[in-house]
Structure formats: C-alpha cells, structure tokens
Amino acid sequence: MQKQQTNDISQWNNNNDDLQTITEQEVDEFKTSYVSFQQQQSKYKKQKSIKVNTTNCRGETRLIRKVIAKNNWKEVFNDGDVCWLGLPFKYQNLEEYFTQYVNRFAGMDLLAHKTQSSFYLNKFAEYFPEEYEFFPKTYIIPDDIDKFQQEYKSTRTYIAKPDAGSQGDGIYLIKKLKDIKTNESMVIQQYISKPLLIDKKKFDLRLYVLITSLDPYLCYINKEGLARFCTVDYEKPNDKNLRNPFMHLTNYSLNKRNTNFQVYNGKNILDINEGTKRTYSSIQKNLEILGYNNQDVENQIDSLVVAYLKSLLPFLAFNQKLVFQKRVAEVKCFQVLGFDILLDEKGKPWLLEVNSNPSLQIEHEVYGANGKSIFEESYIDSYVKELVMGDAIKLAMIPKETQEELPGFESYRKLEVDTAETVISKMMQIYGFLSGYKFQEYLTSSKFQKLSNFPSMTSQTFLKHDYDLLFRKILLKSCNNNQMDFFQFINAVEQLASRLNQDLEEMLDRIIQNI
C-alpha cells in the first residue's frame, strides 16, 4: 500500500516574522459566511414556478414561451406574477402595475426618443463635460439648426436620424448643408468615420441593460449581447459611397436585404465566425486577437451606461410620479433597454442611441437563391435573448433589499449609479412644486410666474411681468403656445438665472429652501 504523501512546509516557517496568524475562529467565520453566501445564491436560483401573463405580448411571444418552458413556469392570460407588455405603457394597463411585475416604466418610450434623449444628454454634458464625452456631437433639428450651420465643417461627415424612425428607416449621411431636410424633426450627429473594423467591415454592439427599481436605483448590464455587421467592406465616406447603407449602417433590417448577408450555422456561436450577426462573446475573442484589452473596453462601456442611467433617473422618477402619484411606491416595474454602441479604431465606445423597446424576436428572415424569403429561428438571437429575458424576470422578482446586497444575478452584472442630487434633479423638484405636487405634465404662464414670489427672484431690470414675456419667448418654437414642458422649463430657468445675474445652482438651492 502506497504511503500517503505529506506536505512538509516547515522550511517555509523558519522566518515567520512576516506571517500573519489566523485563528481557527476566523477560519470558521469565513467558512460560515461563504456557506451562507452560497445558500443565498442557491435560494434565488431556485425560483418558484412563475406565472407569466402573455396577453399583451407581440413580437416576443415565441421567445417568452421558450423561456416559460425552459424554466417550468406557467403561461397565463390574466393576472400572473409577471405581465409582459409588448408595447409601451398605456393608461389601460394601470391596475396591472399594482398586482404584477410589469416590464415597462411609464414614459420610458418618450425619454428614449432620439430628440428627447439627445436633449438631456447634451444638457448633462454642459454641466458634467468630463463624464459625458461618450456620445458624438449632437444637434436637435429644427431647434439647433442655427448652431449646426455655425459649427458645420465641410471636412466632416454627419449622420441624420429622424426622431420617430426605427430599424434604419430614413437615416442618411450628410456632407453638404443643402442636403439637410430642415422641415423634419431629427437629430444630426457627427459621424464616427474611423470605426473599429473586423473582417474589413463596420459593426456595432447591441447590449442589454436592466432597471428593476428607481428607489433604490437598481441597474444591471447583461454579460452577453449582439454584434451587427455591415455587409459591404468599409471605406471612409465620400461622394461615391455616401448613400450606400450596406457600408455605413449596421441595422439588421437593412443588411438582411443584401445578398452578402451571412447566417452563421456553426455549432458554437460563442466562437469567432463570419456571420453578419454574432454574439458579444465572439467579438471579445476578435478584440483580444486584435490586441485590445477586453477589460478596459468593458470598463468604458460600464462608465458610459452608468452616466446615461444617471441622466435618465430624474426624468424617469418624475414620470412615475406623474402617472401613479400617491401610489408610486406600490408599483412593481422593471425594463430592459437596448444600448447601441460603436467602438472606434482606438477601442473607445460611443453611444449611438438607446432603444426602450429592443427587438426580442428570435426569428430571422433568410432569402433564398430565388429571391423569396422564409423565417426561421436564429440560434444567436435565441441564445442571447433567452438570457436577457429569462434572467430579467427572475431578477426583477427578487426583493429590493436583497438585490441591494447582490453583486449581480446569473447573466446580469450590477452597475453602481450615483443618485446624488444634480442641477437637473433640483429643477425637477421645483417643477413639481409649481405644478402643485400633482405632477401635471405642463406649466401655464401663471404657474411659472410663481417663481417671482421667492426671495431675490426679481430685480430692477427683471420684474414680475417679465416672467410672462420669458415664458412666451421659450414657447415660440413650440406647437403648444400655452403650456411649458419640463425640457422647456430647463431652458427657462437657465435664462432666468442669467437675466437675474445669479449663479444657477445657488438660485435653485435658495428656491428649494423656501419651498
């Protein structure tokens, strides 16, 4: 019988001056805490059989039924534990928010519109320029048309995106001022002309971010995602290729029409491949080969997402109060957002846009040699989106106080978002007061003039009646000439501080102290 080998460590103990003594009690405490942590993780992995109300599902129906079957949950068509809405919040869904977990925050669809999100990102960039360098220079048309014409440079390329457009519809590149359609509501951004290329093609990332609570603010990012490629080799924009969407636009809905579109049917979708749509895990392997540090890229993406979520919170919290008012603490909401991110040739991530209703379809359209199309399941979409939806539902149902202690759950990693008061959140507080704490969506001139009643809010050159003049000036470009929304209120308050020759933050703090 072979003698059991022992490990003699006495030679390492000859000089133990630098060794830290650990008592048996400390070892036992560590073991106990670790076992407790494992039990806690196991407890929330073994969720009860969840009832999912699919009555209002749309394009995601096939996916949610796969998730239900995979987890041994139950599909119901009335009150369940979770209600999945395929469309943005509507008032007829109001009561469902008090009895079920619902995958929509009120007003999120409006906040994620291109013009709205561009407005508050631009505004936050004014106040926190170092934190908001992650999105291209953006102009809101027609409001910023004068500014754009002043800052326009013929050596640059710009990209125009209609406010209400989706799936690449109506997007076009600009090199000449005369090409701008000034009669449409849109955003114009500087075009990132030196993107990171893989297989000589431009691509972007669709990453998924989950919000499960506003108070406390609980946010997560999924470890997996999609990469969507163009179907023509990239060249810098010029007069010949400017109108080629297959070279410059990564939208799947556009590129699927190109005969170069490639569907990857390999066994391992996490491996490097030549598909037009790939997993984020696959792209990370490409990046490593190309010499990029994946951890650095991930950290920059996290910072980008956190900054965006920070800017979103005051608007989102306001909309919740607007809709649910005194019962706002009772509602159970969560939502998955789609972040479209482009990496430039240096590996820096740029936020292109945020989608409040990212596609959760798992079928893709494939064109045959005869030109006819058929729909079949996309294994890449199915793999990624099962993680996104299934783990979002499980995580949303974990109590908030427990979520606060967890570093993440399954495929989601927690993001720490600073919720400290900002200039914008202070303005929001004042806006709520002026509306009578009933959180009416708009302010009339008389409500706006209430600001003149606060100390030091008039001067010899700016009297009470000037408030009405300022109100009307702000609303000149609006189709509603009688009421002011919050975005217009921000501009009004900034002009007010300038007219009164006061520091903006000091003025806001003084008003809040006297509310």
Which pLDDT score is estimated for 168? Answer: 59
* Residues 6 or more apart whose Cβ sits within 8 Å of residue 82: 50, 51, 52, 53, 100, 101, 102, 103, 393, 396, 397
Residue 265 corresponds to which amino acid?
N
User: Which of 4-13, 84-93, 315-324 comes out lowest in average pLDDT?
Assistant: 4-13
| Residues pairing with 198 in the sheet | 201
- Give yes or no for a contact between 169 and 162, defined as CB atoms under 8 angstroms apart: yes
- Give yes or no for a contact between 229 and 250, defined as CB atoms under 8 angstroms apart: yes
**How confident is the model over 127-142, as a mean pLDDT?**
87
Quickly tell me which residue has 């109001």 as its tokens.
94
DSSP 280: H
pLDDT more than 70, % of the chain: 86
Which pLDDT score is estimated for 4? Answer: 44
Closest CA to 347 of 284, 275, 404: 284
Length of the chain: 515
Which pLDDT score is estimated for 20? Answer: 44
Which pLDDT score is estimated for 31? Answer: 54
- The 10s digit of each residue's pLDDT in 146-194 is 898 999 988 899 999 887 655 556 899 998 888 887 777 889 999 999 9
C-beta neighbour count of 469 within 10 angstroms: 12
| 84 pLDDT more than 90 | yes
- The 10s digit of each residue's pLDDT in 305-330 is 999 999 889 888 888 888 888 888 88
| 15 pLDDT more than 70 | no
| 477 pLDDT more than 90 | no
> Which of residues 458 and 421 earns the better pLDDT score?
458
Q: Which helix (H) or strand (E) holds 496?
A: helix 486-499
User: Which of 90-99, 113-122, 325-334 comes out lowest in average pLDDT?
Assistant: 90-99
**What is the distance between the alpha carbons of residues 111 and 120, in angstroms, rounded to a whole number?**
9
- Give yes or no for a contact between 94 and 285, defined as CB atoms under 8 angstroms apart: no
| 90 pLDDT more than 90 | no
| 457 pLDDT more than 60 | yes
Taking all residues of the chain, what is their mean pLDDT, rounded to a whole number?
86
**How confident is the model over 219-223, as a mean pLDDT?**
98
| 10 pLDDT more than 60 | no
- Give yes or no for a contact between 444 and 483, defined as CB atoms under 8 angstroms apart: yes
**How confident is the model over 471-494, as a mean pLDDT?**
83
Say what the pTM is: 0.85
**CA angle (113 as vertex; 111, 115 as ends), nearest 5:** 100
**What is the distance between the alpha carbons of residues 338 and 354, in angstroms, rounded to a whole number?**
6
Which pLDDT score is estimated for 480? Answer: 58
> Which of residues 103 and 177 earns the better pLDDT score?
103
C-beta neighbour count of 227 within 10 angstroms: 24
484 three-class SS: strand
**How confident is the model over 393-402, as a mean pLDDT?**
95
**How confident is the model over 208-221, as a mean pLDDT?**
96
* Residues 6 or more apart whose Cβ sits within 8 Å of residue 416: 306
**How confident is the model over 208-231, as a mean pLDDT?**
96
Which pLDDT score is estimated for 266? Answer: 77
**What is the distance between the alpha carbons of residues 119 and 122, in angstroms, rounded to a whole number?**
5
**How confident is the model over 273-283, as a mean pLDDT?**
94
H-assigned helices in 361-484: 379-396, 400-403, 423-434, 445-448, 464-474
- The 10s digit of each residue's pLDDT in 48-67 is 689 999 998 998 999 999 99
